[in-house]
Structure 1
């Protein structure tokens, strides 16, 4: 009798990004913000305080303003950039990995949901799942939230396959080298006095809560990247900046690391400093009139890159005497980045 064929083993891959409203209309933006800002890992307050404060006050006030910004960002044909760049990445990674893999894409908040993406992988009868949150630097409010959500969903499955997480990719060549490539392309077009690496901010308490044996002190402890701070968000941002600066051929005095998108004005709580919007206002007085800006906490263009850094920061810079401000585009579905994602998956 012929030997039965061995069933083909397949690996599931789950790519996850933060999330986006279903449309730039205020009700959809409100729904997205409600889910995002009531996540206990994003706003680590007691539920009895978090829900009334954000659902009752912050979100209703913020949603109409955010909706107007999303309208600027929205592509009339493809919708939200964070969504279509994610779907493009999924398609290209799937093509390169081939039939031995099944690649799904989900959002932590709203659609397509992580639950739907995991169902796709379960329906494909994958033998194991590799989860890649598309956040270069680990933070409890981003990568940690994705990990928690994935485990919450699969805990309800009767059969749970092996699951592994890629928790950060600060040092991954595909990540670093693609940003260097994009940066050099912009540097070839114009002479710049300075480079700003602007990262999404988080509350200082998030860093201190996750500190390994009290190692993180929000100071010189981030001057080196080691086993004690490899999951410290601030340390990872500084390490990313050092690697990018090395690839771009920058001296230490030719770049600045800063943090954006804080909610401090409402929560009266210190976030990681220095703040990008305050730092850039000081540049012209220091003789810095031409600035190249990176957003290395994001791998796809979105509201925080295109609008906040690309438009709002540009306007602030010009108001105080700056001459030229240029945002380096994000990795999106750049071929070098696609190859980098494929390599990370194969290595795991």
Structure 2
């Protein structure tokens, strides 16, 4: 009990000694001191008590030092973690290299005299490629006319011989990797460097179909997009006065005139514009089935503003038919 009273007495004495250096009496009401009694005569003090000001400055410098020390410790931890990660990465890379390393085989060749050395063979010049009757053309992509990073201005045959090339072509499209839905032989799709100036001053590249000699099929400068559906069916998009909104992936949005054209029969199926000025379509790349009609294979979707849909399909006889699907059944 005595020790407790002694501790309390010491704390009071320390507080009193500390307070003596502060301007805490009521006659110095113009000072703002933390030890002054809070009341009317000291609540409006405008001048900082010198002792309070000194303590505040000491506290401010201490906080700056503490923050600096904490920041240095944080940076040190980050550098240590970065070094540990670098060591771990190098270790994993070394393990992968060792795992994938191929054993080298060294072969000692017998010494030969200079007279035994054969003269280098003269390379055989490859003659021009002879065009047959039916050639399947290969190019960058086989389905749509969407922009990608591999622009080509030539067509190849199955032996990877260049059979048609022109500086007038900005991009070529035909079979890609395999025969996509019976792409017709002896023809390819090209996006020309030639442009069509539309109503608002902008220009669009012209698209067309060419034969093995580069002869254009449509010769219509309002055609901006052509892509293959199946067999002899192609989708032809014309935008003579307005630019398309966008074309991405398998979706083509905002064309003025769209038709499905058959190169063999020269007949076309025109897609109406619904309530607006544009037609928006999407290509089916497989997977969808028409309920109750397993023989129908969907290739193209046309969705209207009320979300009804026309699905263009090929039947068992490879004829184009359209299935109208209301919004409720989609």
Q: Same fold (TM over 0.5)?
A: no
Greater C-alpha radius of gyration? 2
Q: TM-score, normalised by structure 2?
A: 0.21
Q: TM-score, normalised by structure 1?
A: 0.20
Please state which structure has a larger fraction of its residues in helix: 1
